[in-house]
Amino acid sequence: MEPLLSLSHLVKHYATQKAVDDISFDIQKGSIFGLLGPNGAGKTTLLRMITGIFYPDAGEIKLDGKHFDPLLDIREIGYMPEERGLYKKMKIGEQALYLAQLRGLSKADAMEKIKYWFEKFEMQSWWNKKVEDLSKGMSQKLQFVITVLHEPKLIILDEPFSGLDPLNANLIKDEIYNLAKKGSTIIFSTHRMEQVEEICDHIVLVNLGKKILDGTVADIKQQFKESIFAIETSHPQLIKDNALFSILDKADKNPNKILVKLSHAVASNEVLKYLIEQQIPIVSYNEVLPSLNDIFIQLVEDTHAKARAFQNI
Amino acid sequence: MHKIWIIIQREYTSRVKNKRFLLVTFLVPLLMVGLIVGSAYFSFKGTEERKIAVVDPNGFFKDKLKNSNQLKFEFPKDVDTSNYQAKGYTDILLMPIFEGDKKADYILRSKKSMGFNLQETISNKINTAIEDRMLEKAGIQQYILDSIHQSAQIAELKAYEDEGKKSKESNAGLAMAIGYASGLLIYITMFIYGTMVLRGVMEEKTNRIAEVIVSSVKPFELMLGKIIGIGAVGLTQFLMWIIVVMTLTGVGLSLLPADIQNQLQQLQASGGQMGAAGMAQASESAKNIYAFQHVISTTNWPLIIGLFLFYFLGGFLFYASLFAAVGSVVNEDPQDAQSLMFPITMPIIFSYIITNVVIQNPNTPMAFWASVIPFSSPMVMMARISYGVPSTVPYWELAVSMLTLIGGFLLTTWLSAKIYRTGILMYGKKVTWKEMAKWAFAKS
């Protein structure tokens, strides 16, 4: 299948910094794609190039197989930046209409779509209110509606859940799934790894302007697994270190659960066999895959000192 | 282009619909009229009467100093510098012993210091008294002198400008007033609408809506849309002011008593040259109104208003983009805005000072250069134009000035756009002038 968005060798240098330094990846149609990275990694610069706000210094962006032309393709993109806001004194209905028209919708078309979304999110009564009357969560919802209103092929959400309560976060999350199901492609940029794990199919991790990880969530977890297993038993004191595995210090909330790291080249079934032979009553036995959070920290931590040193110059 | 139009519409309607806009539109003309009437009233009413004791050792000046509204001269005995205040005088004038044509000091001591104009009046009165005395000595009698004084006041200077074959009545006083008023108006509006652009840009940046919009339109379109929208608000304001002032004048004239209106019509019909009888019949107020209308009609209003609108727009566009550039680099701190605005407000204030000089002498080399350099041309050229085109300002000068202004705002808009597009997306960083210059002159 042809990717919707394809970045090849993108470069963007600022006066003092290589913000994006030769990054390439593809995003499949209809996928929910996570763009991850620590603060200052170059995520926002990357997104600004994808949305046509910045021109790359080198490299190429292809949208739907064709060279990306910001002027023509802007209609196909919905971007909710991290630094987002609205005119405080402007009425909400007029504001939505204004921004939709700037996206290229006709007035009648924009009106119809706004009505649809306002109804869907139960926002009809907001029409004549001003943004300053809205809570943070409410204006976040409005932001989301404005972003997806013109039915773009590519939706880019930068930290979409910040400031939302779980109820509203779920509302938006469901809508993201819905849009993806209908064929929209979603780029999702965040620091919140548990959200990425829950929502994204595919992720790319960038740090210091370079791509350091690219793959599906499941593949990456497999790639970074460390042969750690959790054994739950009614008699945890019976389990001791041996040639097959060593017990990890990491405590679990459940005192009957013990984490063990298998020795090199030991198959997990051998451990199970050993436990049965020792007549240890097993409640559960399963492999523990690393969380994206762990992987993120592991990959970024090493470079952290470097980033600091860079800033000190 | 379609998107710029949408932005212009929003910038325009959101401001024109604002209550403050309506308030300013109607209050400013009223305020101006109030200011003129008020200052005229106070300059008439606010003068105090001075009672001056004259100490005149040989009685030479007695009855020779004429009293006026403000100055009363008395020649009491037993008054000196130690007791004049106690005796109810505000000033004491010590005359020297008069010795013919020798130069001498006349000393004035006052309870409260006297204004320059009054001092001038007193010294004129003394000189006239001396002059009269000399003429009398030369054999001219007092009654002849009096009649000469009276009939010598009739001269009235009427100046004409020769433009080719026809000559036109010129009125330096009115030209100065118009020049001054339009220069001042451009100065004030440049500040009002310039800072409006600045605040609009800052609002977009601090409210974090800039990036949302910039992902659908080019930063340049956003900036230009805002500037044009606000400029249109300014134009609307001027048009409303013109309409309000014209309506007020019309209403004012129609409220005049019927006989004065009749006289006014007669004066207009005869071109001010009524027979002596008719002239005498016409009341003082009708003559004044006629004179005012006549003076107003000597000015080429369509030219002045047309050029005023051009220079307002040109000057606004020239400075507005600079204000927009500054607004885009300001962070949350309004104090930043103050210090960054300074280099832009300086040339505006400086131009205003030049305008005040040029208005006295509209034909100096400084006047020429200041009216072709776009930093000052909107104000300075307006001050000169009121003296007459092409008599004071030749057509070629006007053309050069207009072209440099157009070129100037294209240049500032182009440079500002480059600062703006970087600045508006940059958060939490204090931008220096050096960085701004780097952005402005960067390639692409």
Tell me what ipTM this predicted complex has: 0.80
Examine the pLDDT at B428 and tell me if it is beyond 80.
no
Q: Regarding predicted confidence, which is higher, B356 or B278?
A: B356
Q: What is the mean pLDDT of residues B246-252?
A: 80
Stronger pLDDT, A155 or B87, i.e. the higher one: A155
What pLDDT, on the 0 to 100 scale, is given for residue A309? Answer: 41
Contacts of A167 (CB under 8 A, 6+ apart): none
Mean pLDDT across the stretch B112-123? 80
pLDDT in tens, chain A (313 residues): 678 899 989 998 877 778 888 899 999 988 999 998 888 788 888 998 998 888 888 999 998 888 988 878 888 899 998 878 888 888 899 999 999 999 888 999 999 999 999 998 888 888 898 888 888 888 888 899 999 998 899 999 998 888 788 888 888 899 999 999 988 999 999 888 888 888 898 999 988 888 888 988 888 888 888 888 888 888 888 888 888 888 887 666 778 888 888 888 888 888 888 888 888 888 988 888 888 888 888 888 776 544 444 443 3
Reply yes or no on whether the pLDDT at B282 is more than 80: no
Given an 8 Å threshold on Cβ–Cβ distance, is B6 in contact with A98?
yes
B159: confidence class by pLDDT, cuts 50, 70, 90: low
Q: Judge: A81–B211 Cβ closer than 8 Å, yes or no.
A: yes
Please state the length of chain B. Answer: 444
- One DSSP character per residue, B291-324 reads HHHHHHHTS-HHHHHHHHHHHHHHHHHHHHHHHH
Cβ–Cβ gap B438/A99 under 8 Å: no
Give residue B155's pLDDT. 67
Map residue B219 onto helix, strand or coil: helix
Q: Do A102 and B213 touch (CB under 8 A)?
A: yes
Q: What is the pLDDT of residue B224?
A: 93
Residues 6+ apart with CB under 8 A from B217: A102, B3, B4, B7, B225
Residue B317 has pLDDT above 90, yes or no: yes
For residue B281, name the pLDDT band (cuts at 50, 70, 90): low
For range B391-402, the mean pLDDT: 89
Give the Å distances, CA to CA, from A148 to A50, A104, B215.
Answer: 16, 13, 13
> Quick one: which of B133, B140, B167 has its CA closest to B59?
B133
User: Which residues face A233 on adjacent strands?
Assistant: A282
Q: Which residues of B touch A146 (CB under 8 A)?
A: 212
With cut-offs at 50, 70 and 90, classify the pLDDT of residue B226: very high
Q: Which run of H or E residues covers position B288?
A: helix B284-297
Measure CB to CB from residue B207 to each of A87, A101, A143 and give the nearest one: A87
What pLDDT sits at residue B294?
Answer: 72
User: Is B3 in contact with A102 (Cβ distance < 8 A)?
Assistant: yes
Torsion angles phi and psi, residue B167, rounded to 5 = -110, 150
- Rounded-to-integer distance, Cα B254 and Cα A188, Å: 71
Please tell me the least confidently modeled range out of A29-33, B4-8, B375-379, B384-388: B384-388
Q: Which residues contact B231 (CB under 8 A, 6 or more apart)?
A: B193, B313, B316, B317, B320
How long is chain A? 313
> Is A103 an 8 Å CB contact of chain B?
yes
CA–CA distance, A88 with A96 (Å, rounded to integer): 13
> CA angle at residue A257 from A256 to A263, to 5 degrees?
135
| A295: helix, strand or coil | helix
At B179-211, the pLDDT tens digits run 888 888 888 888 889 999 999 999 888 888 888
pLDDT score recorded for residue B197: 94
Residues of B within an 8 Å Cβ radius of A: 3, 6-7, 10, 14, 203, 207-209, 211-217, 425, 427, 438, 444
Alpha-carbon gap: A161 to the closest alpha carbon of chain B (Å): 17
